[in-house]
Amino acid sequence: MSDILPIVLHPHRALRQVAETVTDVDAAVASTLHTMLETMAQANGIGLAAPQVDINKRLVVIQPEVEGEPGNRKAKSATPPLLMANPEIVAKSDEMIDSEEGCLSIPRVFDVIPRHAWVKVAYVDEHGNPREVEGEELLGRCLQHEIDHLNGVLFIDHLSRLKRDLLAKRYNKILPDFVEDTPYPFTQES
């Protein structure tokens, strides 16, 4: 597998599928996770789910310890990334927090989305070991966003219809510029 995969852009059928559970985290799965990590870094992202690179498996990579504004984030390399198979929310706070969110598959548009203030996620790491991680703030938000991707859900689905329509107009206007700049490899066919 190459070091970088093209990221599919909304609307693409791959973003709307329910991804399949990984039955065995073997060397090939670990390799896919590392390729996803490279792809995410190339795209200056903080999280990436396998459906975003047209792989229909429940795989997620996250590197949430970043500085900078949405759209211009820079990873702090000292913090190890999370490489996750079959991540699942096993506990969450009742409290919800609003914050701005974006997505590499819906580039250059952002909006405020409510998320649980805290989540606990069970997953299998790249060595096949069961693990848990707890997250709040950016990590908690990122976990919820990426797990949504595995269920064919995008952050725009959490907006009111009015906001979603406005954002769709902005996105359609912005997309030709993005395609011309090609800041990261992407694919559009659906």
Residues catalogued as catalytic: 146
Outline where DSSP puts E strands in the chain: 7-8, 47-49, 59-62, 66-67, 74-75, 82-92, 96-103, 106-116, 118-124, 130-136, 186-187
Nearer to Ni ion, 23 or 190 (CB): 190
Interface residue with Ni ion, options 46, 75, 103, 109 (CB under 5 A): 103
Query: Quick check: 142 binds Ni ion (CB under 5 A)?
Result: no
Which 3 state secondary structure label does DSSP give 24?
coil
DSSP bridge partners of 27: none
Residue whose C-beta lies closest to Ni ion: 103
- Residues in the interface with Ni ion (CB under 5 A) total 1
Nearer to Ni ion, 8 or 103 (CB): 103
Stretch that binds Ni ion, among 4-12, 59-67, 102-110, 177-185 (CB under 5 A): 102-110
**Residue 82 CB, nearest distance to Ni ion (Å)?**
15
Q: How far is CA 94 from the centre of its chain?
A: 23
Nearer to Ni ion, 82 or 103 (CB): 103
C-alpha 19/C-alpha 9 separation (Å) is 17
Q: How deeply is 77 buried, as exposed, middle or buried, from its count of CB atoms within 10 A (0-12, 13-18, 19+)?
A: exposed
**Residue 127 CB, nearest distance to Ni ion (Å)?**
25
C-alpha 58/C-alpha 171 separation (Å) is 27
**Residue 141 CB, nearest distance to Ni ion (Å)?**
11
In this structure, the number of other CB atoms found within 10 A of the CB of residue 150 comes to 24
Task: Identify residues 144-183 at the interface with Ni ion (CB under 5 A).
Answer: none
**Residue 47 CB, nearest distance to Ni ion (Å)?**
7
Residues that bind Ni ion (CB under 5 A): 103
